[in-house]
Structure 1
Amino acid sequence: MNRIRRMIEWNVFGVCTWLGERMGIATSTIRKYFIYLSFLTMGSPLIIYLFIGFWVNIRQYIWFRKRNPLRY
């Protein structure tokens, strides 16, 4: 079970972790509420999750490109 959980945590965008660090809330709590909201609203938070995931990943990519002066 831990192996599956670790694989999922590494392969998803890390939105819950990012929100937890920004808001000072445990990541597991954010994941739990996200799952509850997804069931109650029939999956509409997935759109928000994907938007935030792409935004965070693009932002990290742009920041890395600016910080690395040796890259062509």
Structure 2
Amino acid sequence: MKRLTDFIEKQSFGVCDAIGKRVGFSSGSVRLSFMYASFFTFGSPIVLYFALAFWMNVRRALRQQRRTVWDL
């Protein structure tokens, strides 16, 4: 079960894991919160999830492109 969860988390942008690390909760509880919120609000947290995934990928790309003065 743990390997399946890790695979899904890696394939789904790692948003729940990043939120869990920042807040101090487990990624499983963050995932459950997203699912419950999606059921109760008819899917609106999914938009938030994809916005966070987009932002995380932009930040990751900016970090990789940034060069130092010593890199010529």
* Gaps in structure 2 of 5+ consecutive residues: none
Q: Distance in 2 between matches of 1:2 and 1:24?
A: 19
* 1:21 paired residue number: 21
Question: 3-state SS of the aligned residue for 2:13?
Answer: coil
Q: Give the RMSD, CA atoms, in angstroms.
A: 1.8
Q: Which has the higher contact order (CA 8 A, sep 6+)?
A: 1
Which segments of 5 or more consecutive residues in structure 1 lack a partner in the other structure?
none
Aligned mates of 2:58, 2:18 — CA distance in 1: 14
| TM-score of the aligned structures, taking structure 1 as reference length | 0.82
**Deviation of the 1:4 alpha carbon:** 4.1
- How far apart, CA to CA, are the structure 2 residues paired with 1:66 and 1:31? 32
> What is residue 52 of structure 2 aligned with on the other side?
52
- Secondary structure of the corresponding residue to residue 25 of structure 2: coil
Query: Which shifted more, 33-42 or 4-13?
Result: 4-13
User: TM-score normalized by structure 2?
Assistant: 0.82
**How far off is 1:5 after superposition?**
3.2
Quote the Cα distance in structure 2 between the aligned partners of 1:6 and 1:21. Answer: 15
Aligned length: 70
